[in-house]
Amino acid sequence: MNAPFTGQPLIRAEDIAHLTGRARFVDDIRPEGCLHAVIARSPFAHARLLGVNTASVEGLPGVVGVITAADFAELPAEIPIRLAPLAGFETFLQRPMAADRVRFVGEAVAVIVATSRFAAEDAAERLEVAYEPLDPVVTYDAARAGASLLFPAAGTNIATRYTAGMGDADAAFARADLVIERHMTAHRHTALPLETRGLIAHQEADGILRCWGSTKVTQWNRRALAVMLGRPEHSMDLIEVDVGGGFGAKGEFYPEDFLIPFAALRFGAPVKWIEDRREHLLTTNHSREMEATVAMAFARDGTMLGVRARISADMGAYVRTNGGVVPAKAAQFVAGPYRIRDIALEVEALLTNKTPVGTLRGPGRYEAHFFRERLIDLAAGQLGLDPAEIRRRNLLRPTDMPWSIGKLVPYEPASSIDSSDVPAAFDAALDALGYDALRDEVRKPRPDGRLHGIGLACFVESSGAGPSETARVELREDGGLRLISGVSTQGQGHKTVLAQVAGDVFGGAVPMDAIELRNGTASLIEGGFGTYHSRAVVVGGSAIHLAGQTLRAKLLRAAAARLQLRAEDLTLREGGLWREGGTQPIASMAELHAWMREAGEAPDATETFRPEGRTYTCGAHAAHVAVDTETGQVEVLRYVATEDVGKAINPLLIHGQAIGAAVQGIGATFLDELVYDADGQLLTGSLADYLVATATCFPNIETITLENAPSTLNPLGAKGAGEGGVVACAAAIANAIADALKPLGVEINHLPLGPDRLLRLIPETPA
């Protein structure tokens, strides 16, 4: 393949290892003498922890030791907030293990370390723990009422409350011809990567405490661990190995990220912990559970005048590393990609006796877009407007850019949408679906009796968070490139994409297969912030671009000096170093490396990229569904998702991201749900009960990647491309089902949309 590599649908360099079983996931690592940890967990949602009788398991076959909270009571082991600190949160942080009170089913009460996983589980079954049950707080109302408190000293279960806004919502609503207001809910679900969490910790002979696993933010996690263990950062390293998916939940700092290193130090041996699926459903961050009362004000012609939202998020039992991202982002994105200037928001984060929440692909956006897009369809119905038309009249236009979205998030500065062409993205979705023809088609009776409907939804999505990324690019002695980056990888394909970015800086002088990526390990390079908010390529890629440019200039300068030519007359492209206008290369990249050596110059460069703001993508989803009104089952006949990613560095990978995200989002809308009973017991603790979309569930998804609005905020023009596919799924599917069921007068305000819920909404007809 020839440069430019950017824009080419290159297959993933990582695939060969993954497809031939040569990838190395954390559980593939088997250090000699490795001990195995199993975590004893609370069966109660809320209880006083009266005592853990470690003697009940000490001495059992294979048991090496037991750790309880008392063993590290003096360490400052509170897990800090990484993102979205909101006033009041500091009171509700989690320690790695319960000391005197358990606050959710699954909270750690002891770590049992044994010579095998089997022995550890046998012992865990026999561990005696004394509890005194307390009233569990499971609902929004119970949390607000505060009759039972998770943190009595705090005096409240309300972790935070704030208001935000821009413009003058009161005036906008006063002027409105139509106000639509609904109480709506989004449901608790989780990320469910194929590979669960897992960790191996070992203090090796050199005195360095090393942890292998999935840590999307290795440098931050190492910093946190250093504080918690009370030892210097440089005496430890977090090493990221191959990762089987993360989706926002995996790789955050969890209790086990302290407990397993602590156990390794305590017992002086490598300790491995692999989360099982039940633990995963019980303890890895949940997300998305919130209730909202949202109102939109419209003029008679469909113009959107303003939006008000009161959002209450169920945070679970503690505030974890992701702080208030979920509710804050739901509030921020409630206005969507429309020309709405008057916004009033009230946000509340509530503690309940459930698993704590964190981010999940498109945190807050999936929920916010659902709330708003439902209201838009209701308004269209009342105003007699086509759902496409009412949206088109209000979408942001390219001439509106940059569009201020104000300061709607307390812990962030004001923000603006950098660039967009939403109407083009919307039209692309409508065209692909054949909207105009389908509009009439769906109302015709079908031979199988099912009702058909179309659902539309538009979205805006932010990506590319700062503060910065640092990258180093090195020319190898064989003429290849080594890229060193502080972003980590959970399966997205960075090795391929970042190589494309770097390769183009050198004009194709280095072939793709001679570019290696080293990333994900804390000690590799200072100034890495990791992988979240679709930032690895946008920010990390830009840093590589800058470092590559610096190295390229350095190489040309050195070559010019040696050849006694002007650097401007030299260039790099396929084959190596060329003189401008020359007919053959002057030197190979390997020779250039040798020249640098001779000249005593380091053939590398390090640069930091600091984005001035976030990048925003926009797009639209369009769904065509058929509803069986006798069973409540829905078939997604077609699903189209468009997203303008600014610059598609690898369209094939973006396609994979978009399809995967759409399956995840549509699946979540129909299937994924974490259900708790009134006692705070999780009822969906296995994959027989927690249902997730499989490859055969939603086969008819088409995605379209657009490049009409390159970002103005980074040298690549790139924007995030990993989350747009998920954020409008609930909105488009709910609108499509509501459209199908319109003849029956059905409205959809609550998720998920399983057959039982739908059938309750559908009036019964005789069999």
Partner 1 sequence: MKAPPFAYAAPSTIAEALALLAAHEDAKVLAGGQSLMPALNLRLAAPSVLVDINGIAELSEVSLTPTELRLGALVRHKRIGTDAAIAGAVPLLGLACPHIAHGPIRSRGTIGGSLSHADPAAEWPAVCLAADAVMEIRGPAGPRHVPAEAFSLGVFTTALRPGELLAAIRFPVARGRAGFAEVARRHGDFAMVGAAVTVELGPDGRCADARVVLFGASDRPIRRRAAEERLRGQAPGAALLREAASLAAEGLDPPSDLHASAEYRRRVAPVMVRRALADALSLPEARLAA
Can you give the binding site for partner 1, defined by CB under 8 A? 117-118, 121-122, 125, 276-278, 447-449, 629-633, 671, 675, 683-684, 686, 688-689, 691, 693-694, 696-697, 754-756, 759-760, 764-767
Q: How far is the CB of 261 from partner 1 (least distance, A)?
A: 23
Report the helix count and the strand count for the chain, using DSSP H and E: 19, 29
What lies within 8 Å, CB to CB, of 357 at 6+ separation is 188, 285, 286, 287, 288, 289, 313, 314, 315, 316, 320, 322, 326
Neighbours of 140 (CB within 10 A): 19
What stretches of 564-672 show up as alpha helix (H) in DSSP?
589-599, 651-670
Q: Which is nearer to partner 1, 7 or 755 (CB)?
A: 755
Close Cβ partners of 144 (under 8 Å, ≥ 6 residues apart): 157, 158, 350
Number of Cβ atoms within 10 Å of the Cβ of 76:
11
- 283 versus 534: smaller Cβ distance to partner 1: 283
DSSP, res 464: -
Q: Least distance (Å) from partner 1 to the CB of residue 199?
A: 17
Distance, CA of 164 to CA of 346 (rounded, Å) = 7
Q: Which one-letter amino acid corresponds to residue 281?
A: L
With a CB cutoff of 8 Å and minimum separation 6, the contacts of 434 are: none
Q: In the complex, what is the shortest distance from the CB of residue 27 to partner 1, in angstroms, rounded to a whole number?
A: 13
Q: Scan for tokens 């046998």, then name that residue.
A: 122
Looking at this protein, which amino acid is placed at residue 149? L
Task: Pick between residue 100 and residue 756 the one whose CB is nearest to partner 1.
Answer: 756
Q: Shortest distance, CB of residue 15 to partner 1, whole angstroms? A: 23
Of 382 and 631, nearer to partner 1 (C-beta) is 631
Is the CB of 90 or the CB of 677 nearer to partner 1? 677
User: Residue 536 has what DSSP assignment?
Assistant: I
Phi, psi for residue 121 in degrees, rounded to 5: -70, -40
**Closest CB to partner 1 among 56 and 708?**
56
Shortest separation between residue 443's beta carbon and partner 1, angstroms: 17
Nearer to partner 1, 121 or 516 (CB): 121
Would you state the torsion angle of the CA atoms of residues 563, 568, 569, 575, taken in this order, to the nearest 10 degrees?
80
| Choice between 33 and 447, CB closer to partner 1 | 447
Give backbone dihedrals phi and psi of 161, rounded to 5 degrees, phi first. -145, 135
Closest to partner 1 by CB, 114 or 505: 114
User: Could you tell me the smallest distance in angstroms from the CB atom of residue 729 to partner 1?
Assistant: 17
Contact 727, 334 (CB under 8 A): no
- For partner 1, the closer CB: 102 or 693: 693
Closest CA to 752 of 249, 288, 354: 288
**Two tokens at 111?**
């770590």
Decide whether 194 or 688 has the Cβ nearer to partner 1. 688
Residue 45's Cβ-count burial label (10 Å; 0-12, 13-18, 19+) is: buried
CB of residue 140 vs partner 1: minimum separation in angstroms?
21
Query: Under a CB-based contact definition with an 8 Å cutoff, are residues 433 and 492 in contact?
Result: no
Rounded Cα gap, residues 210 and 387, in angstroms: 56
In the complex, minimum distance from the CB of residue 21 to partner 1, in angstroms, rounded to a whole number: 18
How far, CA to CA in Å, does 447 sit from each of 64, 282, 450? 67, 45, 8
Peptide bond into 752 cis (omega under 30): yes
Query: Cβ 629 to partner 1, closest distance in Å?
Result: 7
Comparison of 231 and 278: residue with beta carbon closer to partner 1: 278
Chain-centroid distance of CA 184 in Å reads: 23
In the complex, what is the shortest distance from the CB of residue 366 to partner 1, in angstroms, rounded to a whole number?
21
Q: Which is nearer to partner 1, 183 or 760 (CB)?
A: 760
Distance (Å, rounded) from C-alpha 264 to C-alpha 266? 5
* Residue with smaller CB distance to partner 1, 604 or 672: 672
Nearest approach in angstroms of CB 689 to partner 1 is 6
Residue 647 sits at the vertex; the CA angle it makes with 706 and 504, to the nearest 5 degrees, is 145
Task: Pull the structure tokens for residue 239.
Answer: 């090493």
In the complex, minimum distance from the CB of residue 123 to partner 1, in angstroms, rounded to a whole number = 11
Minimum Å distance from CB 187 to partner 1? 13
The residue type found at 233 is E
Nearest approach in angstroms of CB 715 to partner 1 is: 45
Please say whether the beta carbons of 655 and 706 come within 8 A: no
